[in-house]
Structure 1
Amino acid sequence: MIEIRSFDSLGGANHGWLDAKHHFSFADYHDPKRVHWGNVRVWNDDTIAPGTGFPPHPHADMEIITYVRQGAITHQDSLGNKGRTEAGDVQVMSAGTGIRHSEYNLESTATQIFQIWILPNRRGEQPSWGAKPFPKGDRSGKFVTLASGMAGDEDALPIRTDARVLGATLKAGESVVYRFDDARRVGYLVPATGALEINGVALNARDGAAIQGETEIRLTATQDTELVLVDSADLQ
């Protein structure tokens, strides 16, 4: 089963400095049919105006992955970590027992991010943060694991959950196949740019595809496409 969640159907709010779209229930947006997908709890599509951002605020017991689509985001937290993550790169924050952080767009142009929250397998551990560059050229025509809590993904940023976050870039007409370990796992896929077909179903930029009961998906780009996929445990 592949359920397409069009960009126009997403919840969200425009705060001026922040134009946010929510694939799942978040803040003032609540849809009982879109609370989570497997252990993915949040997928926000955020556009942040120059010189603005999220002031210091707390989190606990959540794995928070930020995929920068355009511009850059500057992070600072209560552990003393500081970092600037550019377009195409990824940062991960394991909130653990508690952490305060800020995320600002200090650039001269708008920054666009996907922010993905995944429920952790383990609670009560020390918080942590990390970031890593993932050159888009290395993802050309194939999936690269960006963050993972699964065995065999040592080159990815670590997260404390039964999930894998992957990225790929495809030229128009190019195809790639992803195989889930078994049909009990679920996937959520969003093209950051471009358009593609997933097992023959059309998907446009910033639409979501909720995948369940599939052991394999074939993606064929109908335009040059940059995409993010989360392979996660099914909580149902």
Structure 2
Amino acid sequence: MAAGSADAAAADGLRTHGRRTARSVLLLHGYTHSPAQVAGLAEVFFQHGFNVYAPTAPQHGPGGGHKGFTAAQLLRYAGDGLDVAAALGDEVGVVGVSAGAALATWLGAHRGDVVSRLLLITPLFAPRPRPALRPLTVLYGLRLPPDRINDRGYSFTAVAQYLRVAANLPAAPVTGALRHVAVVTSPGDTVVDADLAGAVPARLAAQAGATFTHHTLPADAGHAHNVIGGHAAALNPLYFDLYDG
């Protein structure tokens, strides 16, 4: 795809300059969302010379239903996405949003010999309140009770698949390429456990010998959990700077 074909690129989540570039990035959108959620940030990366890939998660996007997928399918989607992004640039990084950040962290830990940079935006490693973590991950993760849908439209069994990914981060990550990890949290976030949102990436960065940045959005700015998209476009330059370290 040639440079300047942003309209066509928006349809498939791929923005390229028509050649392999020095840097590329994989963007993983959040649960119930689609690549449209990260399209504005993808364009910022593209304008900075990156090749960009933002694929659609299994059964997400328009008409996808965003449930019924498995943790294994999510990992295959993330891994395949990283393979594409790695083919597009000499240095590859990953940006993940909410549940997509759990997948991004998994890639940074299990494929840290490939991933050079991570940006995790309001990452979901555990729900708020945290006591719900074990029943969600084990019971709903294995689809033992009937599924439930909460007031945000989230399927318990679907969210549990992402939590199963987060629960399988290695004690000793693969290292070699990871140089920088950044995380963004929001004081108004009532969805994710704030302590783990910062602690898990900090631990990964320390184990990999990477630099680490934890940015907390201003408490008086009215931000909640979803802090990316058209309503938060003003934050995209900040996110790029945090990624770039």
Return the TM-score normalized by structure 1. Answer: 0.31
Normalized per residue, which structure has more strand?
1
Normalized per residue, which structure has more helix?
2
Return the TM-score normalized by structure 2. Answer: 0.30
